[in-house]
Amino acid sequence: MKKENPFAGLKAGWLDLAGAVSEICADGISRRLDWKSDGSGSFTADDELAVFTLSIEKLSSGIKLKTAARWKKALPEHFTFTPVTFPAFGIEHAFFCGERMGRALVSCFPVKESRLFQGRHYSALSRKDETVLMTTPLNQKYDNFFRGQGVGGLMLKWRCDFEFHHNDLPQETEFDALTVSGGNGFEILERYGDESCEVKRDFSQKPECGWNSWDYYRCTITEEEVLKNAEFIASDPVLKQHVKRIIVDDGWQYCYGEWEANPLFPNGMKYLADELHKMGFKAGLWLAPAIVEPHCRIAQWDYDMLACSEGGQPCRAFRCMERYGFVLDPTVPKTQKHLEQLFDRYAGMGYEYFKLDFLGSTMDAKRFHDRSVPRCQVLRKLMESVCKGVAGRSEILGCNYHFYNGNSFVNSVRVGGDIHSHWRNVKANTVSVAGMFWANKKLWINDPDFSLCRSLESSGDPDIQRLRPSYVTCMPGDEFNAGFDFNLCTSHIEEQRVLLSLDIIAGGAINLSDKMTLLNEEGLDLARRVVAAESGFDGRPLDFFRSELPVIWHQRLKKGGRLLVVNWEDTPQEIDVDWSVAGNPREAKDFWSDAVEQCRSKVTLAPHSCKLWEY
Would you say the C-alpha torsion 401, 205, 281, 460 has a positive or negative sign? positive
End-to-end CA distance of the chain: 63
The structural domains of the chain, with segments of one domain joined by +, span 2-196, 541-614
The model's pLDDT over 146-192, given as tens digits with 9 standing for 90+, comes to: 999 999 999 999 999 999 999 999 999 999 999 999 999 999 999 99
Is the per-residue pLDDT at 83 higher than 70? yes
Inter-residue contact 373 to 331 (CB < 8 Å): yes
Would you say the C-alpha torsion 352, 533, 510, 211 has a positive or negative sign? negative
Which pLDDT score is estimated for 197? 96
Strands 93-96, 105-108: pairing kind: antiparallel
Which pLDDT score is estimated for 164? 96
Is the per-residue pLDDT at 595 higher than 90? yes
Buried/exposed 374-384: b ≥16 CB within 10 Å, e otherwise: bbbbbbbbbbb
Is the per-residue pLDDT at 273 higher than 80? yes
The model's pLDDT over 106-141, given as tens digits with 9 standing for 90+, comes to: 999 999 999 999 999 999 999 999 999 999 999 999
Which pLDDT score is estimated for 45? 97
Is the per-residue pLDDT at 1 higher than 80? no
The reply to whether omega before 550 is within 30° of 0 (cis) is: no
The model's pLDDT over 508-541, given as tens digits with 9 standing for 90+, comes to: 999 999 999 999 999 999 999 999 999 999 899 9
pLDDT-based confidence at residue 4 (cuts at 50, 70, 90): confident
Inter-residue contact 5 to 18 (CB < 8 Å): yes
Which pLDDT score is estimated for 179? 98
Inter-residue contact 68 to 55 (CB < 8 Å): no
Please give the C-alpha separations between residue 590 and each of 241, 309, 558, 595, in angstroms, as whole numbers: 23, 55, 18, 5
Please give the C-alpha separations between residue 93 and each of 127, 132, 239, 284, 404, in angstroms, as whole numbers: 7, 11, 42, 41, 24
User: DSSP readout, 93-136?
Assistant: EEEE--SSTT--EEEESS-SS-EEEEESSEEEEEETTEEEEEE-
The model's pLDDT over 278-331, given as tens digits with 9 standing for 90+, comes to: 999 999 999 999 999 999 999 999 999 999 999 999 999 999 999 999 999 999
Mean pLDDT of 342-365: 98
Is the per-residue pLDDT at 615 higher than 80? yes
**What ranges in 492-557 are assigned the alpha helix state H?**
493-506, 521-532
Q: Which of 358, 346, 374, 192 is nearest to 273 (CA)?
A: 346
Q: Please, what is the angle between helix 223-235 and helix 268-278, to 10°?
A: 10
Write the CB contacts of 537 (distance below 8 Å, at least 6 apart in sequence): 441, 507, 555, 556, 557
Inter-residue contact 214 to 250 (CB < 8 Å): yes
The model's pLDDT over 434-482, given as tens digits with 9 standing for 90+, comes to: 999 999 999 999 999 999 999 999 999 999 999 999 999 999 999 999 9
Q: Does domain 541-614 have CATH number 2.102.10.10?
A: no
Which pLDDT score is estimated for 538? 86
Q: Which of 2, 162, 145, 133 is nearest to 66 (CA)?
A: 162
Which pLDDT score is estimated for 359? 97
Please give the C-alpha separations between residue 41 and each of 12, 20, 203, in angstroms, as whole numbers: 18, 17, 43
Inter-residue contact 199 to 181 (CB < 8 Å): no
CATH class of the domain at 2-196: mainly beta
Inter-residue contact 347 to 394 (CB < 8 Å): yes
Percent of the chain scored above 90 by pLDDT?
98
Buried/exposed 51-80: b ≥16 CB within 10 Å, e otherwise: ebbbebeeeebbbebbbebeeeeebbeebb
